[in-house]
Chain A
Amino acid sequence: MAGNSLFYEFKKGLWQEIPPFRLVLGTCPTLAVTNSAVNGIAMGLATLFVLLFANIIISALRKYVAMQVRIAAYVVIIALLVTVTDMFMAAMFPPISKALGPYIPLIIVNCIILGRAEAFAQKNPVVPSIADALGIGIGFTLSLATMGVIRELLGFGSIFNVKLLGEWFEPWIVMILPAGAFLVYGGLVAAVNWISSRKEAAAKAAAEA
């Protein structure tokens, strides 16, 4: 892993290891709060913030925390950051904070953050950990935004609360219900897998030629 460039650590989170669709991590917020594009992006950014600072702190402290208590230490660090985020959002963006409800505090148990801490920050210096957190965090935000855009478009006929589809469009109520989240999620996982398999096949063909 030491040989990988910073840019690689950043880039892998955008496609190769994009959390909800390739790693199937962090599916709870992906399904729960993406009923509109704004909610999806807000959730993604909140997670990005927590992930970035969790990675920095855990990576910086990695030599001082005993292996046996590391998980407890991660949780304390993450909980601190989540509390900061939760209070910040409640103070600055009350409507969004209200819409996201308990899902902001639930970032504490988001497996992406714990997963990156355990799999990456704990073994790597601070700078690669920042690249990793930014890549994964932005990938996660983009995933939630995509889910939110699709669901808001079909469920309300709008994107970012701007009405795009006219009167003729009868909103699909199902898309803003949990069932719609699963449908869109399944569709996107399939699409990502399909594109990846095509890419791999093309790369293989190029390597053989």
Chain B
Amino acid sequence: MEQKTLETKEIKTAPPQEPPAQAATARLVVSSSPHFLNTESVPKIMHSVVMALFPAVAASVYFFGWRALLLVIVCVAACLGTEYAFQRIRNKPIKIYDGSAIITGMLLAMTLPVGFPIFGAVLGSVFAIGVGKQLFGGLGYNIFNPALLGRAFLMATYPVLTTTWVWPRTMEKAVDAVTAATPLAMAKFEGKLDVPLMDMILGNTAGSLGETSAVAIILGGLYLRYKGYINWKLPLGYLGTIAAFSAVFWLANPAKYPSPLFHLFAGGAMLGAWFMVTDMVTSPVTSLGQWIFVIVAGILAVVIRLFGGLPEGVMYSILFMNAFVPLLNKHTRPKVFGAAGKQS
């Protein structure tokens, strides 16, 4: 350190975009914290999530035909359009390219049955982005997962259409577009628990686009984990709670209650665990808060599935816990080391 060209830079609050070329000219850069440079950005994360959803989309096209792709495209387009319209009206910077609306559209499409009408998909997308996200102030301010809110709205608006499923075209007995019950509905309303597990894991059952193929969704989830965008706690905590809690009932009466494996691979448990529980905006930030979030949500999902009026409880369990996230964040804040106790 022979030279003393010490360059003090003015304090900047947003250093991550600092060009590295600066460091080449100055020998020693002194700047205010944080010093850790991170190349991650919202669009980058969001586009990785879109990538992670591709296996699920591909699986849905394989099992349900090209109309599945059409639904995905319609939902994404409608979400982007709504986002653009809202940002335009509110005179906000147009940020539809950050990818968050694409994810909402894809996730919403994943929760719909393949025969769902196009106008309904558009309506759900407009509600998801408009009411679910933009009315709260846009990305980062929404309380509820927008895609799930859109699905909940559609479920209340078109209760018949959202629950009219068809057999996948890969099923031997399938006549074109014959309505069918999902494994969960069969278990609940007909007491049939004998759906082959392998069919549910691969996706060879009736259901919404993204709830049939567990493999494709786990693949996407693992990719997100590999990229470091989600932690293990949220998805595995949620799935683990579902498995453990349903095991209690299954062990008590295996003839009446479906097995834990059935619960894991049926319905939207996988999609919810990997893509909706892990939503960065609507899940708690503290470790304890995340545990409470996933455990209560998991128990709720099983309770609704087994004892509620609906065959599937994943959506409401996550939406319900979304409402508690601010509370969880507030009350599970870790103690600051060395800080004095509360003075009040």
Minimal beta-carbon separation of A103 from chain B (angstroms): 22
Q: How far is the CB of B228 from chain A (nearest CB, A)?
A: 38
Binds B, one of A33-41, A127-135, A159-167, A169-177: A169-177
Task: Decide if A202 is an interface residue (CB 8 Å cutoff).
Answer: no
- What's the tally of chain B residues with a CB closer than 8 Å to chain A? 10
Dominant secondary structure of chain A at its interface with chain B = helix
Chain B neighbourhood of A174, CB < 8 A: 153, 156-157
A55 and B153 CA atoms in complex are apart in Å by 42
Residue of chain A at shortest CB distance from B120: A170
State whether the Cβ of B161 lies closer than 8 Å to any Cβ in chain A.
Answer: yes
**How far is B243's CA from A136's CA once the two chains are assembled, in angstroms?**
57
Q: Does A96 contact B (CB under 8 A)?
A: no
- Find the A residue at minimum CB distance from B131: A183
Residue among B119, B120, B131, B156 having the largest count of chain A Cβ atoms under 10 Å: B156
Please give the distance in Å from B277's CB to the nearest CB on chain A: 23
On chain B, the residues within 8 Å of A173 by CB distance are 156-159
Q: How far is the CA of A180 from the CA of B157 in the complex (A)?
A: 9
CA of A180 to CA of B159, assembled, Å: 14
Most interface-central of A172, A175, A179, A183 (chain B CB within 10 A):
A172
Taking the closest CB of chain B, its distance from the CB of A161, in whole angstroms, is: 21
Chain B proximity mask over A168-209: 1 for CB below 8 Å, otherwise 0: 001011110101100100000000000000000000000000
Fill in one digit per residue for B141-179: 1 if any A CB lies within 8 Å of its CB, else 0: 000000000000100111101000000000000000000
Nearest Cβ on chain B to A190's Cβ, whole angstroms: 9
Nearest chain B CB to A96's CB is how many angstroms away? 26
- Name the CB-closest residue of A to B155: A174
Interface centre among A170, A180, A183, by most chain B C-beta atoms within 10 angstroms, is A170
Once bound together, how far apart are the Cα atoms of A180 and B156, in whole Å? Answer: 9
B154's closest neighbor in chain A, by CB? A174
In the assembly, what is the distance between CA of A101 and CA of B340, in Å?
A: 58
> Complex: how many Å from CA A175 to CA B157?
7
Give A residues with C-beta under 8 Å from B.
170, 172-175, 177, 179-180, 183
5 new A-B contacts at CB < 8 Å, known A170-B120, A172-B158, A177-B156:
A170-B119, A170-B158, A170-B161, A173-B159, A174-B157
